Amino acid sequence: MSTLFLLTMAQIKQIQRVISKALTFLDYVKLRMALLYPMEN
């Protein structure tokens, strides 16, 4: 039971890391788009 719980916690942390990387990438893309197309913002 506790082993399963620890495994789940590790998976949650890994998922959070992936999500934060994806959000950082999206922010980068938004910044690039704002620089490329300043008139639309």
Other CB atoms within 10 Å distance of the CB of residue 15: 10
pTM here?
0.60
pLDDT score for 24: 98
Distance (Å, whole) CA 14 – CA 11: 5
* 25 Cβ contact list (under 8 Å, min separation 6): none
Q: What percent of the chain lies above the pLDDT cut of 90?
A: 63
30-37 average pLDDT score: 90
Evaluate if residue 8 carries a pLDDT over 90: yes
* 34 Cβ contact list (under 8 Å, min separation 6): 41
Distance (Å, whole) CA 26 – CA 11: 22
Give the mean pLDDT of the chain.
89
